Homo-oligomer: A and B are copies of this chain.
Amino acid sequence: MAKKDLARDAWQQVVMLFLGDEQQERFHEACARVGLPHPGSLKALVSLDDVEPKSMRTLAAEMRCDASYITALVDSLEKAGYVERRVSDTDRRVKLLHVTTAGRRAKQTARTVLTTPPVAIEKLTESELRQLNALLAKVRENTPEPTRFTL
């Protein structure tokens, strides 16, 4: 088989695995666990850095959604006590989003739910898992722009 087809096959299997495991339902479960209303707000929380605050605008760009929606998302995050808006010292138009301690805890909980592997993966042997990890790590190293958010 041509190399191109091998690559396509590999990705096809990833897609099917992912859709088959219903990661979408995982996302909803994670929302329920941390008490957030919808996946958007959770994605926003996960997109924020624990120590380096981002402006609303930056977050909107990263999430590729409208700024007005970010307002709504951050409202729910603030209501849950997971982030604080603080006016920037250098530009008073800008609001910086600080993740609170509770926010960090919530992220950790979400991370645990989202990265729970499907049973099929756990059935691999230890050495197979090591191989798989090594290959996936290599793929991620090759990724041009690193993932927008880190789990």
Selected interface stretch from A49-57, A74-82, A87-95, A138-146: A138-146
* Residues of chain A at the chain B interface (Cβ within 8 Å): 3-4, 6-20, 23, 114-124, 126, 128-133, 135-144, 146-151
Q: Which residue of B lies closest to A46 (CB)?
A: B19
A120 adjacent to B139 (CB under 8 Å): yes
Tallying the copies of this chain within the complex gives: 2
B13 adjacent to A136 (CB under 8 Å): yes
B148 adjacent to A10 (CB under 8 Å): no
| Min distance, Cβ A71 to any Cβ of chain B, angstroms | 22
- Beyond A6-B129, A17-B140, A121-B139, 10 additional pairs, beta carbon < 8 A: A3-B129, A11-B116, A13-B137, A13-B140, A15-B23, A16-B151, A20-B146, A20-B147, A121-B142, A128-B138
Q: Which residues of B contact A122 (CB under 8 A)?
A: 3-4, 7
A13→B140 CA distance, assembly (Å): 8
A10 adjacent to B120 (CB under 8 Å): no
A19 adjacent to B133 (CB under 8 Å): no
What are 18 inter-chain pairs, A to B, with CB distance below 8 A? A3-B126, A6-B129, A7-B122, A7-B129, A8-B115, A10-B129, A12-B114, A13-B139, A14-B14, A16-B147, A17-B139, A19-B148, A118-B139, A118-B143, A119-B144, A123-B139, A123-B142, A132-B136
Q: Which residue of B lies closest to A112 (CB)?
A: B8
A142→B57 CA distance, assembly (Å): 44
Partner of A133, one of B10, B16, B116, B147: B10
